[in-house]
Amino acid sequence: MAQAVKKLSAMDAAFLYAETPEMPMHVGSLAYFTLPEGYAGDFYEAFKGVIASRMAQAPMLTWKLEPSPFDLDHPSWVVDEQFDIDRHIFRTSLPAPATAEVAERITGWMHAKLLNRARPLWEFYIFEGLPDRGVIVYNKIHHACIDGGAGAALAQIIYDIEPDGRRSTTPSPRPSPHRPRMSRAPSRRRGRRCSRRTSTSSRSR
């Protein structure tokens, strides 16, 4: 049996009950990055490694929903024992012309798709190959597991403001038995400039 974490509050559960295919209840953001000149690494693999190394600081990223028996109460968050980071972070490319405007239109379509409730309710998509060494990171996460304040805290865990990213001192979550352990990110990550357009809502508790 999966390890129970906590029961959803009435407010958080309401976002699940209100969700329909026509009205998704997740929030999302776009982050625009410019890779440094001469960058020869794999941004997708480096980004995935950073997320894997910092997930212990954001344990909700490994939680999934567990309904109550006969739906007599709100669902609970439980640890996903089959968690696989490759089911949450994806590499993709843009059709020509590979511009920010095209990315925004495509992510608009992607944002209309509901998250899979059998897994932790978040996803990242990495768009590579933009002009001038550009990279775009689109993510979405369900409002049942994050609000405005928690979203800001999560962004501080995931992103760095200095060219050389900080190294996590906490262990990564246990890997899926069906996948090899994710390697850690390189000790030095080159800096990136980014501006973010965020389409999130916030609420006070």
Using a cut of 0.75, tell me whether the model's pTM lies above it.
Answer: yes
How much is the average pLDDT of 123-140?
Answer: 93
Q: Give pLDDT, residue 168.
A: 56
pLDDT digits (tens, 9 = 90+) for 85-118: 999 999 998 888 888 889 999 999 999 999 999 9
10-24, 141-155, 170-184, range with the lowest pLDDT: 170-184
Q: How far apart are CA 75 and CA 84, in angstroms?
A: 22
What is the model's pLDDT at position 1?
59
Catalytic residues: 143
Query: Of 58-67, 169-178, 183-192, which has the strongest mean pLDDT?
Result: 58-67
Q: What distances in angstroms separate CA 143 from CA 24, 52, 62, one per listed residue?
A: 10, 22, 15
What is the Cα–Cα distance from 92 to 71, expressed in whole angstroms?
Answer: 37
Q: Residue 167 is encoded by which pair of tokens? A: 């190294």
Q: Would you state the torsion angle of the CA atoms of residues 89, 54, 172, 8, taken in this order, to the nearest 10 degrees?
A: -80
Of the chain, the percentage scoring pLDDT greater than 90 comes to 51
Per-residue pLDDT of 139-165, as tens digits, reads: 999 999 887 777 888 888 888 877 676
Classify the phi-psi angles of 103: left when phi > 0, otherwise alpha if psi is within -120 to 50, otherwise beta. Answer: alpha
Tell me what pLDDT residue 167 has: 66
Mean pLDDT of all residues in 23-48: 92
User: Cα(98)–Cα(205) distance, rounded to whole angstroms?
Assistant: 40
Rounded Cα distance, 59 and 90, in Å: 20
Lowest-pLDDT range, 46-55, 90-99, 115-124, 175-184?
Answer: 175-184
Note the pLDDT of residue 183: 34
Nearest to 87 by CA among 48, 58, 144: 48
pLDDT of residue 141: 95
In order of start, what are the domains of the chain with their CATH numbers?
8-183 (3.30.559.10)
Residue 3 has pLDDT above 60, yes or no: yes
pLDDT band at 182 (very low <50, low <70, confident <90, very high): very low
DSSP-derived 3-state class of residue 89: strand
The confidence band for 198, taking pLDDT boundaries of 50, 70 and 90, is: very low
Mean pLDDT of the chain: 81
End-to-end CA distance of the chain: 31
